[in-house]
């Protein structure tokens, strides 16, 4: 029991890895919702716990259209890249090739954001900066342009960091919930099974940008707090062997690129 509690504590303290309102990135995906929910989650999610504040130039407001009652959901979603269907993405490592299926049917914004960054070539050559395997297998995290858990994707069209809102489809629901952590009684359709790929973020639910992580085990305590958007279908053994500093030789879309839709 003590070991389980300790593992949860280490996990959430290592999973916070995305940009917050002020642009700083904690560690690996330590998704936490509101300040209240986040204080609880922060003690048991994978994150970088860095408190360095970004320069004013990187300070960007969170995406707010989703939460704005004056905008229709459809109009709000149209402002984001979306994946209208599924896609197969290949991750080439020095040790071999990993295949990932991303699910735009259940997480269109999150999967779309990732697929778009893959298409842009953002991840090629980047490293995995966080690997947590002790005391129990937890996560492998990468996708940071800075390589230290503090980076985001800066959109060349706006010269500003691009964030996507927390997007979770409750099991049995037809529409994802945006910008908030699911209640404890709700389960997401896409769960943190071993091999899941999800977006890392900071305490703010709408701070995911480009950093992602793979679940090295079933880590269901993160369900509803972080956005899973796909699963490894081949090569999980290669993911389990990743060490800090290992490079992403390339990430490419091999099937389903036609499902990627740019903002209206």
Per-residue pLDDT of the chain in tens (264 residues, 90 and over written 9):
434 433 444 444 445 444 333 333 333 333 333 333 333 333 345 554 333 322 223 233 344 445 544 457 888 889 999 999 999 999 999 999 999 999 999 999 999 999 999 999 999 999 999 999 999 999 999 999 999 999 999 999 999 999 999 999 999 999 999 999 999 899 999 999 999 999 999 999 999 999 999 999 999 999 999 999 999 999 999 999 999 999 999 999 999 999 999 997
The structural domains of the chain, ordered by start, are 2-52+61-261 (2.40.100.10)
Q: What's the pTM?
A: 0.79
* Residue 21 near residue 207 (C-beta atoms within 8 A): yes
Contact 207, 150 (CB under 8 A): no
Omega within 30 of 0 (cis) for the link into 135: yes
With contact defined as beta carbons under 8 Å apart, do 110 and 166 qualify? no
């Amino acid at each position: 029991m003590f070991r389980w509690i300790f593992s949860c504590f280490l996990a959430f303290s290592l999973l916070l890895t995305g940009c917050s309102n002020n642009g700083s990135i904690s560690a690996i995906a330590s998704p936490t919702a509101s300040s209240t929910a986040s204080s609880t989650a922060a003690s048991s999610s994978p994150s970088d716990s860095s408190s360095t504040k970004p320069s004013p130039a990187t300070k960007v407001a969170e995406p707010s259209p989703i939460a704005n009652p004056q905008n229709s959901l459809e109009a709000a979603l149209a402002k984001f890249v979306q994946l209208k269907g599924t896609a197969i993405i290949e991750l080439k490592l020095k040790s071999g090739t990993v295949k990932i299926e991303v699910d735009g049917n259940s997480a269109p914004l999150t999967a779309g954001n990732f697929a778009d960054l893959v298409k842009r070539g953002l991840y090629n050559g980047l490293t995995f900066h966080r690997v947590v395997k002790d005391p129990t297998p937890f996560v492998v995290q990468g996708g940071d342009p800075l390589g230290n858990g503090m980076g985001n994707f800066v959109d060349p069209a706006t010269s500003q960091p691009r964030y996507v809102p927390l997007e979770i489809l409750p099991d049995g629901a037809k529409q994802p919930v945006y910008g908030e952590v699911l209640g404890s009684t709700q389960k997401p359709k896409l769960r943190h099974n071993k091999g899941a790929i999800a977006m890392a973020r900071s305490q703010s639910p709408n701070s995911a940008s480009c950093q992602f992580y793979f679940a090295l085990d079933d880590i269901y305590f993160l369900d509803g707090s972080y956005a899973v958007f796909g699963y490894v279908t081949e090569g999980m053994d290669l993911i389990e062997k990743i060490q800090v500093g290992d490079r992403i030789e390339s990430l490419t879309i091999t099937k389903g690129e036609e499902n990627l839709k740019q903002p209206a």
